[in-house]
Structure 1
C-alpha cells in the first residue's frame, strides 16, 4: 500500500473527495501495526501515539481508533 500521508489541510480536504472503503481502512490499520512492529514499538507506544491530542480526531474518535488498532495488533501474526 503506498498512499501519501496528508501534510496540510488542503491535502486532507482533497482526500475527502476520494472514495474510501472498508478494505482500504483495514489495509491502512494493518500497515500501521506492521510498521510499528518493524520499528520495535510496543502496542502501548503505538496506542499512546494514537491517543495523543491532535486537531484531526476528537478524543472519542481517538479512543475508538485505539481499540481497533489494539484488536488488529492481537489478530495479526
Structure 2
C-alpha cells in the first residue's frame, strides 16, 4: 500500500484514521519534514521539537525518533520526487 506524503497539518491529522503500519509511519515522518521545511524550519529546530519532553514518548524513544527524522531529512528530496512512500 502506498500513502501520499502529507503536505498540510490537516492531511497529517487525517492519517489518524488509517491503520498504523510501517508505510503510514514513514509517510507521517516525511510529511512532518515537508511541513517543517515549508514553514522554514531547520533540521535542528525540528529535532529540538522531537526531543522536547512529552507524555507520549520517553527520552530514549525521542532520541531514536530524532535520529530517524534526521536520516529522513537527508533523503527527503528523493522521496519528494515520488510523492508517496512505499516500505519494502
Q: Which runs of 5+ in 2 are unaligned?
A: 1-5, 78-88
4+ aligned runs moved over 3 Å, structure 1: none
Q: Match of 1:59?
A: 59
Aligned to 1:10: none
For this pair of structures, how many residues does the alignment match?
A: 66
Tell me the alpha carbon deviations over residues 28-63 of structure 1, each in whole angstroms, 9 at most, x when there is no partner: 000000000000000000000000011110000000
2:19 corresponds to: 19
Point out which structure has higher relative CO (alpha carbons under 8 A, 6+ apart): 2
The unaligned stretches of length 5 or more in structure 1 are 6-14
Q: 2:13 aligns with which of 4, 29, 38?
A: 4
TM-score, normalised with respect to structure 1: 0.78
Structure number with higher strand proportion: 2
The normalised TM-score by structure 2 is: 0.69
